[in-house]
Amino acid sequence: MPTPSPVLRRTLHALAVALALTSLVPLGTTAADARAGGGGSFGSRGARTFSAPGFTRTAPGGAAPIQRSETPLPGYGGAPAGAAPSRGFGFGSGLAAGLLGAGLFGMLGGGNGFGLLPLLLIGGLAFFLFRAFRNRMPGLAGGPAFGSGPTPFGAGAGGMGGRPAQRPNTVPLAVTPQDFDAFESALVDIQTAYGREDLAALGRHVTPEVFRNFERDLGENRARGVHNDVADPRLLQGDLAEAWREGATDYATVAMRFSLRDITVERATNRIVGGDPSRPTESAELWTFRRDRGGAWLLSAIQQTR
């Protein structure tokens, strides 16, 4: 059997690496992503949309950046933002970048790099991985719940991270026990309405931007012939990350760990295709609420925890 040429060997090696890297990209929707928000980070936080909220005991690793927002990116005029500014490459794209660097230096130095053709293959894969991680839809996990137990909710704005630096045109906001009760009620009401596909109820609790995200997700479920059955949402722990006022609008970002029963059901047969109805799941997210003067708190953004 003839021995493969060096170029062929390098090409086959690159293809093997490409196949391995593609396995790092998550495909489809898991049962844990079936709740309201779908495991993603989206919405608007006013002037702080693209700034990280404070750390809390409930979310000690902080929040993932918002991926989809109708708030304009800073420095881009009035153009809407499809994703938050990149905060460095994710694991898959960083690994691909390292392999690209190894191949490039090997080619320029006359060593055993991948060569031009494999380099182009991995370059295309790196682009695919970068887009996949940027567009991924990754949508609510001790201490007491809001306003209950021996420890007050939040124990101070900013949680363990301390008070965040004040942004221009914003002032700190004091959040009351009644506000925390409203956040807990919103968690239950929004998850319940999402499980019932009750758009009217969702519209009473969320901003138009968040409503459009939920409406799109529910439409995609209908197109796939499934629906999400969400039951028994319950807050387990909550902390205030930060609260502030911008003009006539109040904002509060809270980290919440909660449990719920979350399954995906096939519409035509009522067959369960995702999740376990006998086992509640726990999740942790940061929810941002906004309140216009004289109005009620509305959910304006969801962020995943790191």
Q: How far is CA 158 from CA 35, 92, 275, 286, 301, in A?
A: 27, 31, 34, 12, 17
64 contacts 303 by C-beta, under 8 angstroms: yes
The more confident residue out of 199 and 166 is 199
pLDDT of residue 202: 98
The SS3 assignment for 62 reads coil
Q: How far is the C-alpha of 123 from the C-alpha of 163, rounded, in Å?
A: 42
Instruction: Summarize the confidence of residues 123-130 as an average pLDDT.
Output: 58
Q: How far is the C-alpha of 156 from the C-alpha of 225, rounded, in Å?
A: 45
Task: Give the residue from 19, 32, 106, 64 showing the smallest Cα distance to 262.
Answer: 32
Percent residues over pLDDT 70 in the chain: 58
pLDDT of residue 2: 60
The pTM assigned to this predicted structure is 0.66
Q: Which tens digits make up the pLDDT trace of 267-278?
A: 999 999 999 999
State the Cα angle at 274 between 271 and 276, rounded to 5°: 95
Q: How far is the C-alpha of 189 from the C-alpha of 201, rounded, in Å?
A: 8
161 band by pLDDT with thresholds 50, 70 and 90: very low
pLDDT of residue 133: 46
pLDDT of residue 169: 80
Arch. (CATH architecture) of 34-67+137-304: Roll (3.10)
Range name among 60-69, 79-88, 174-183, 243-252 with the lowest pLDDT average:
79-88
Inform me whether the pLDDT recorded for 34 exceeds 60.
yes
Instruction: Summarize the confidence of residues 169-198 as an average pLDDT.
Output: 97
| 246 HSE (CA, 13 A, CB side) | 13
Domain chopping of the chain, boundaries: 6-25+88-135, 34-67+137-304
262 band by pLDDT with thresholds 50, 70 and 90: very high
Q: Which tens digits make up the pLDDT trace of 54-102?
A: 999 999 999 999 999 999 987 655 545 544 333 333 333 343 334 334 4
Range name among 17-26, 63-72, 96-105, 252-261 with the lowest pLDDT average:
96-105
pLDDT of residue 159: 44
